[in-house]
Chains A and B, each alone.
Chain A
Amino acid sequence: MKLSPSTISRRAILATAATTSLMASAACSRSTAGDSAGGKALQMFVNMGADTPQAAAMNKIVASYQQETGQAIQVTAVSTGFENQMKVRLASKDIPDLFSTHGWSLLRYSSFLERLTDRSWAADVNPQLDSSMRDANGDIYAFPGETNVAGVLYSQKALAAAGVDAAQLTSWEAFGTAADALLAAGITPISCSGKDQGPAGHIADHLAIDTFTDEQLQAMKDGTFQADAYDEVLTRVAQWRDGRWFNPDYASASQDDMAHALADGTAGFAFLGTSLLSQALTYAPAAALGFCPLPPTHGTEPYLVGGEGNLAFGVSKTSTQKEAALAFLDHLAKPENAAALAESTGSAPGLSSVQVDFGSLASSYEAYVTPGKVPVKPYFDRVYLPNGAWDTVVATTDSVISGQGSVEDAVTQMQRQYETLYGQQ
């Protein structure tokens, strides 16, 4: 037999290869840039999907700024793998002028960022962000486009079908009763994603901040891992797993599936930031979604979790266009732009003076956030775990939810990683 060139059509090969490359690049990132009016374009590297409401808001602001000032800005939006790409760029000293700090402006990126404490808007940063965004001297290194708020996210349609009232979820016993009612009604009590690296970790993170006592939290800060408290966190997660409260497709579900489940009312609860609700609302704009505080574990009252979100941006201190980059950051901080950014993610604004239209999430914000009576605690990992421990939080919680590992093994692994990273600090 002879393999003639016609055996495999060259055109078919080229067409397939070209289509594949295009699909792969389009799926990963997208850049937008305008013409520069004589100057070099600012490079901005952001952590957002190219077709998300956040990207739309950012592109609109960039376009108007460019029209107004003539300063070109090349925005590169990366939805997955942002963190990895950012670290590679930092290691290779190829640092963009502006970049998303996505929750890590202080712990991870502050040594690479320009200090922003003296900017006109800096004094107006929401005090709830202080623990995660200001250092011991009160310095800040990123402009917060949102104050990320997280609690128990819920689908009103699902809760109504099971006769559950979100306002009554003030204890874990009440939450358990609600979860069982949802299960009995054929609804998944808790939607989570094992495929995407993040959602599982958020559950442990949200629970840990109130499971650890003040003394234990201080000990964590001082370098002593509190295994008993972490065991308590994961034991609760294991109980939820044993109660079959998680979605049966947990292992293959993505964060997108979580949004669909809430939008469709096929799941009752989820534990993530409110950006998941914004994502769900893009699928079902009329869906009744909301959030409520987390029931206390060792604290005395329900609480929310909050801090720096994805929409936070810093300026590289080695940028050759530092002044232009700072000027654009100031532009982002203008009330109308700061409001547009926060609204795009369904979060509270990053600046106290900015007013935001929360849309269909307004009732939850008015009930729990605006009055300021519900305590907002910081994300556990960002304050009490060493930089780099988050991935292990995700992996160990994932192993417990999926039943691939025991609570004891997960705690041991977490402790080892904590001690390794703490020793490197």
Chain B
Amino acid sequence: MLTGRTLSARAASLLLTLWLVSALVFLAGQVLPGDVARVMLGPFADAQAVAALNRQLGADQPVLVQYWRWFSAALGGDFGTSLSMRAPVAPFVLASLGRSAALAGIILLFLVPLGVGAGIVAGLNQGRLTDRLIVLGGVSFGIVPDFVSGLLLLLVFGLWLNWLPITGAAPDGAGFWTSGYYLILPALPLVLNLAGYLARMTRAGVIEALAADYTRTAILKGLDRRQVIIRHVLPNALTPTIAVLATQSGYMLGGLVVIEALFGIQGLGNLVLNAAKSRDFPMLEAGVLVLATIFVLSAAIGDLVQALLDPRQRRRASL
């Protein structure tokens, strides 16, 4: 079983990782040319005004002081005030996380049935035409970058057919379903891009499980094919698939900068990018930390689920 010790060790390494990330981001920010007030006021602003604004924002302090101020406040749960937006950071990060999560949710909604379903069908029909079509199709869609398929889908479904809204941001005050409807077009490129990979992972798992001793035993026991697949093949076949999904969820929550820009969604990826552009350190730090947390957590959850499903891994984890 998973012991308390392994869990706390895992948590400690997570915290250490996050601390390292926060320090690295602050240091990396120092390499960028220019300062926040200069970025805010533009190149033609008076040097006096720039200095005054930097003083107001506290951006004229040494970087270690700035970092310490930020870090000590963050420990108390206060992620500071955005230098460029002049408002608390937390609501911005939460709102953009929400938008990214909504997009990721829609992606998963399409991706999981499509990828896993296709993978199972392919695995059960190994070597036949259906299998080859699914694998080949998956690989073909997988190598098209999301910004290319994004543009194509946008042209076809948004401009020519006029079926779906062009922007991912629903109008002010839109409800749950409307908001989801606006996210379908932005989600599709990612679904196409990832489905093939997911299908191949599932397919490999299914083929492996079909060839395994326990499947043969089950068949010899006289269980019908449907029972064998549902009870014995799928639980074993889907373990690697779940690990893949966990890592991809991390990516979906922060790595979709191009898709977010293309469809005007103010997600976490965009937030971090814009914070870096405007040298807004409190915003950048908080955004990157949330991203890092998601990456580390989703990897950990992937491991955990895998351990729960696979007795071999469970034993290894408790060593």
Chains A and B belong together in one complex: no
